[in-house]
Amino acid sequence: METVTRMRLVGGNLALDFVNTRVGPPGAAPDDDVLTGYPELIAWGVYASDLTDADATALRRRARDDAAGADATFLRALGTRDYLDGIFQSLAARRRPESTALDRLRDDEADALAHARLDQGSGFAWTWRDDHSLARPLRPVVHAAVGLLTTAAMERIKRCEACSFVFYDESKNRSRRWCSMEDCGTAEKMRRYIAARRSRLARKRPGDPTPGPPSDAPPGSSAAPAGAT
C-alpha cells in the first residue's frame, strides 16, 4: 500500500495531487498509476492528509462489508480523476475546459457539500468528519478543485515541462517550470544539455578540421568524426 507514496505531492493543491496519481511523458498516455483499487484510494487519502487513520480504518471496514460498493466508488474515483485531469490539463495548455467536465464537477461538489458540515476553527471550513460513506476520500478532492478554479490565478496552473504532472505555481515571478527540481528539473536540464551539445556538434561538422584530444575542452569539441554516418 505504501506504493501510493511513489507519486510526490507537488501539485500544491489536493485536486492537482489527485490528478498526479498517474504520470507519463508529456502529451502521451500515462505509464504509471498508483490508484489500482479502492484500498489504494484510501491509502492515498491518508498520504495526502485528506483522511485520518481513524477515517481509513472505518472506510476499510466499510469496504469489506460492501465490496461491490467499494468497487463502484473506485470506478467513480477514476472518472473523477479523468475529468479533473481534462480540466486542469486544458487550463495548463491555456484552453477552455470542456463544459461537460465542469458540469460533472459542479454535481460532485453539490454532492460533497451535501455530506459536509461547517466546522468552526480559527474560521469556518467544510469538513467531512461525520461522513462515513465510501465516497468520503473524494469529497475534499472535488472541493479543492472548485476552490482552485474559483479563487486561483489561472495562469499559475501549469504542467511540468518534463512529465504530465500539473501544479500550481506559487513562485513569486511565476517562473516554476517543473513538478520538482530533484526529479524533472534536473532530468530536463540534463536532456537540454545533451541536445544542445549534439546540435553544437552537428553545426561544427561540415569542413571542420579534426579537433584535438578532448582534454577538458567544452562539450562539442571532441566527437566530430564519430557520427559521420
CB of 179 to Zn ion, least distance (A): 3
CB of 188 to Zn ion, least distance (A): 8
Q: Which residues of this chain interact with Zn ion, rule CB under 5 A?
A: 160, 162-163, 165, 179, 184
CB of 140 to Zn ion, least distance (A): 24
CB of 42 to Zn ion, least distance (A): 26
Distance CA 52, CA 34 (A): 19
CB of 90 to Zn ion, least distance (A): 18
Q: Of 162 and 201, which CB lies nearer to Zn ion in the complex structure?
A: 162
Distance CA 184, CA 80 (A): 26
Residue 191's identity, in one-letter code, is R
Q: Of 84 and 162, which CB lies nearer to Zn ion in the complex structure?
A: 162
Per DSSP, 28 falls in state S
Cell of 103: 458540469
Q: Of 32 and 119, which CB lies nearer to Zn ion in the complex structure?
A: 32
Give the ranges where the chain is alpha helix by DSSP (H): 14-19, 38-47, 53-65, 67-92, 99-114, 139-151, 186-204
Q: Of 47 and 165, which CB lies nearer to Zn ion in the complex structure?
A: 165
Q: Of 128 and 167, which CB lies nearer to Zn ion in the complex structure?
A: 167
**Inter-CA distances, 56 with 41, 135, 199, 215, Å:** 10, 12, 53, 59
Cα radius of gyration rounded to whole Å, the chain: 23
